């Protein structure tokens, strides 16, 4: 009797298993949906740190994946697959860090001279004689902004030394180079030279040239926060014998006494 019960239970279990297997077999097979992945976009970036003035070579550049919309100023591989070859030989007008996207507006053709390629349209470059004392102790570097100070000793009516006049003839002028150096050293050290090349408008060239011919020219280093101010030109007839001093963001005027006592 027990054997019969076991046999019937085994037959029932086998039938149930067969019925379940047939039920699942009748169901349509669900195929895994293929995930369509859009091909990744790539932009041209600096393969290493590039200093200002570097001549681009193919090892300096590489393609890097880019997520999202590519800004128009960047160079995409889909639009310009030959960019690494076509940009070879151009000059970097500004420095690039490794992985920074390359922008053509920061590059220049190698022409008659690198300095001319650095100048924005409508600007001029003029060199002035400087010393360490007249360039904030030699701490003025290329790409700094300065005020141009003109100092001259004006004789009095008797022909003797009169008042020493110092005034800022130009403000917020960019320094392009110190001697032949167009960028600061890798360690950030100062560049002390005999000439400083300034970026100026055509109308400012004669002001700088006249100031250097009639006296001495000094460069006053400006704070980075003040570089957005519009350049100011000091006219020839403004306050002779007065020195303008800027300290802590405040402008003060002081009278310069005569260097000789007279009669």
Identify the pLDDT of residue 245: 44
**Per-residue model confidence as pLDDT tens digits over 229-259:** 655 555 444 444 444 444 434 444 444 444 4
In sequence order, the β-bridge partners of residue 255 are: 242
* Structural domain span for residue 150: 112-233
CA atoms of 45 and 70, how far apart (whole Å): 13
Residues 120 and 202 in one domain: yes
- Sign of the Cα torsion 154, 155, 156, 157 reads negative
Average pLDDT of span 120-129? 87
Question: Does 89 reside within a domain?
Answer: yes
Residues 102 and 124 in one domain: no
pLDDT confidence of residue 225: 77
Domain assignment present for 217: yes
Give the model confidence (pLDDT) of 187-217 as tens digits: 555 566 788 889 999 989 999 999 888 888 9
Higher pLDDT, 48 or 153: 48
What pLDDT was estimated at residue 10? 66
**pTM over the 0.85 mark:** no
- Any idea what the CATH number is for the domain that residue 63 is in? 3.90.1210.10
Q: How many domains does the chain have?
A: 2
Do 157 and 218 lie in a common domain?
yes
Quick one: pLDDT band at residue 17, thresholds 50, 70, 90?
A: low
């Amino acid at each position: 009797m027990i054997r019969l019960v076991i046999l019937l239970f085994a037959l029932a279990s086998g039938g149930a298993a067969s019925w379940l297997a047939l039920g699942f077999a009748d169901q349509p097979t669900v195929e895994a949906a293929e995930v369509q992945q859009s091909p990744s976009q790539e932009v041209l970036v600096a393969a290493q740190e590039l200093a200002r003035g570097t001549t681009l070579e193919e090892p300096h550049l590489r393609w890097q994946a880019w997520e999202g919309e590519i800004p128009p100023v960047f160079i995409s591989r889909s639009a310009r697959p030959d960019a690494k070859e076509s940009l070879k030989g151009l000059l970097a007008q500004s420095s690039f860090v490794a992985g920074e996207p390359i922008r053509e507006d920061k590059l220049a053709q190698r022409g008659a001279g690198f300095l001319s390629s650095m100048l924005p349209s409508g600007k001029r470059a003029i060199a002035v004689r400087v010393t360490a004392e007249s360039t904030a102790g030699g701490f003025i570097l290329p790409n700094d902004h300065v005020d141009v100070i003109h100092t001259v000793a004006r004789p009095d009516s008797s022909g003797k030394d009169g008042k020493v006049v110092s005034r800022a003839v130009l403000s917020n002028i960019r320094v392009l180079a110190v001697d032949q150096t167009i960028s600061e050293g890798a360690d950030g050290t100062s560049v002390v030279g005999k000439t400083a090349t300034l970026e100026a408008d055509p109308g400012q060239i004669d002001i700088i040239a006249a100031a250097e011919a009639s006296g001495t020219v000094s460069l006053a280093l400006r704070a980075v926060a003040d570089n957005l101010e519009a350049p100011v030109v000091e006219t020839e007839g403004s306050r002779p014998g007065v020195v303008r001093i800027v300290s802590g963001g405040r402008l003060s005027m002081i009278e310069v006494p005569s260097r000789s006592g007279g009669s």
